[in-house]
């Protein structure tokens, strides 16, 4: 008996054509990530009571932070994809590295680019780097949701073959029913992590240096590894040793780093705002 299927909701990956310029959902995902990230970071920066007296970015400086982050995400994401996922191809076709509209961005590369961007911003503002990362981390899952949904619309990064009732046959695939793993990632790496970080902020997490950053790193890493069990590995890489994927391997150090930050944050005293 053939498996039940949910019809793939074919959506044109191009939202609208403005003359020769196509506006793609994929690009809008990144634009939306920066826009909503800017709004969320401004809201957190403007609520001093959440920080318990810790030094943090001003509301006005968030405009500059977004510029730093945009450069870090785009350059880091592209370079990370080239280095981690498809280096031989780009060594043979170096000009293809500039063709970003075809896709090819790596989250872990974008994360490394963001770390450099946050470090540069922190230096310019004379702030601790962890103060900036604690501000940015709670809003990152919003962007993850938007970009993963854009991956689904494109469609790309689909899941492994399955017979679950919600399996889909993706255009451009081999015609085999597969997990809609892009939506799993949007839910687990995005929505669930967003709720977890929002609760941590509400419970005073920003008063402990590095706690929110550590929670994001460990939470994202665990969510990504979980989703990788349902996501089809990139064809040029396939499975690595022991059935692991590149996404799993890159997430392990992220979890370890997050746990170190969490332990460090819990051991340090809570910041308390000075009273007159």
Distance CA 84, CA 108 (A): 9
The share of the chain scoring above pLDDT 70, in percent, equals: 95
Burial degree of 102 (CB within 10 A; 0-12, 13-18, 19+):
exposed
pLDDT score of 4: 64
Answer whether residue 44 shows pLDDT above 90. yes
pLDDT score of 15: 77
Q: What is the pLDDT of residues 251-274, one digit of tens each?
A: 999 999 999 999 999 998 776 665
Answer whether residue 275 shows pLDDT above 50. no
Domain ranges of the chain: 19-267
Find the mean pLDDT for residues 236-242: 84
Cβ pair 76, 104 in contact under 8 A: no
Cβ pair 132, 118 in contact under 8 A: yes
Q: What is the pLDDT of residues 56-113, one digit of tens each?
A: 999 999 999 999 999 999 999 999 999 888 888 888 888 888 777 666 788 999 999 9
Find the mean pLDDT for residues 146-169: 93
Coil, strand or helix at 126: coil
- Token digits for 63? 């405009």
* Sequence-distant (≥ 6) Cβ neighbours of residue 36 within 8 angstroms: 139, 142, 143, 146
Distance CA 240, CA 213 (A): 29
């Amino acid at each position: 008996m053939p498996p039940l299927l949910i019809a793939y909701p074919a959506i044109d990956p191009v939202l609208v054509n403005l003359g020769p310029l196509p506006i793609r959902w994929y690009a809008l995902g990144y634009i939306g990530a920066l826009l909503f990230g800017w709004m969320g970071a401004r809201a957190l920066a403007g609520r001093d009571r959440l920080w318990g007296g810790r030094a943090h970015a001003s509301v006005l400086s968030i405009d500059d932070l977004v510029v730093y982050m945009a450069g870090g995400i785009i350059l880091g994401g592209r370079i990370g994809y080239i280095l981690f996922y498809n280096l031989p191809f780009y060594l043979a076709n170096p000009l293809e590295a500039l063709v970003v509209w075809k896709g090819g961005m790596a989250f872990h590369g974008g994360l490394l680019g963001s770390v450099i961007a946050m470090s540069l911003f922190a230096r310019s503002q004379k702030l601790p780097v962890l103060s900036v990362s604690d501000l940015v981390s709670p809003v990152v899952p919003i962007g993850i949701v938007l970009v993963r949904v854009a991956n689904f619309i494109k469609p790309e990064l689909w899941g492994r073959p399955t017979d679950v009732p919600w399996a889909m046959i993706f255009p451009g695939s081999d015609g085999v029913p597969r997990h809609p793993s892009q939506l799993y990632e949007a839910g687990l790496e995005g929505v669930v992590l967003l709720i977890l970080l929002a609760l941590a902020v509400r419970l005073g997490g920003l008063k402990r240096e590095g706690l929110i950053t550590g929670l994001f790193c460990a939470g994202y890493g665990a969510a990504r590894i979980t989703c990788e069990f349902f996501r089809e590995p990139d064809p040029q890489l396939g499975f690595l040793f022991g059935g692991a994927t590149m996404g799993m391997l890159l997430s392990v150090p992220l979890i370890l780093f997050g746990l170190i930050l969490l332990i460090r944050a819990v051991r340090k005293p809570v910041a308390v705002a000075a009273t007159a």
